[in-house]
């Protein structure tokens, strides 16, 4: 299996099995400070509402609800799976790195050591119209994280 095929499989798997999905049914952890952000991409209709719960300087939980294309839903799933347990500073660094890769138009390669499964979205950077799809939940997470910390 090629790396591109592996990345496609990661996106398909996460778009079907959405980690962190179920914001409306998920209570924030006791004692955590929270932030919540709603983001909409009017161009394609992707929409996500994401909540970040922070406890003792670490991401205790990310939960979200959303509708949209497989890229946007998979991206939210990957983000929620990888972010829990990270420090607030680490998550900010990961968001910045992800943004840099996606805005590079294919010039900057994603480092799987840094981005984990989020490196699967590297190919999206070559399609300007799809960058917002992959970024929408990350923008929501950044906004919510700033509210919570």
pLDDT digits (tens, 9 = 90+) for 80-91: 999 999 999 999
pTM to 2 decimal places: 0.93
Is pLDDT of 3 > 70? Answer: no
User: pLDDT by residue (tens digit) across 92-137?
Assistant: 999 999 999 999 999 999 999 999 999 999 999 998 889 999 999 9
For 121-126, the CB contacts below 8 A with 24+ separation are 121/7, 121/11, 121/71, 121/75, 121/78, 122/7, 123/4, 123/7, 124/71, 125/101
**Could you give all domains of the chain from N- to C-terminal order, each with its CATH number?**
3-20+31-148 (3.90.1010.10)
């Amino acid at each position: 299996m090629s790396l591109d095929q592996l990345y496609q499989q990661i996106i398909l798997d996460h778009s079907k099995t959405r980690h962190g999905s179920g914001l409306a049914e998920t209570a924030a952890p006791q004692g955590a400070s929270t932030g919540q952000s709603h983001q909409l991409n009017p161009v394609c209709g992707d929409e996500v509402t994401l909540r970040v719960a922070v406890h003792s300087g670490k991401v205790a939980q990310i939960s979200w609800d959303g509708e949209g294309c497989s890229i946007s839903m998979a991206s939210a799933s990957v983000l929620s799976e990888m972010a829990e347990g990270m420090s607030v500073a680490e998550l900010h660094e990961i968001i910045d790195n992800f943004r840099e890769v996606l805005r590079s138009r294919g010039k900057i390669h994603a480092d799987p050591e840094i981005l984990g499964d989020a490196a699967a979205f590297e190919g999206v950077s070559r399609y300007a119209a799809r960058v917002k799809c992959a970024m929408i939940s990350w923008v929501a997470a950044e906004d919510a994280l700033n509210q919570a910390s």
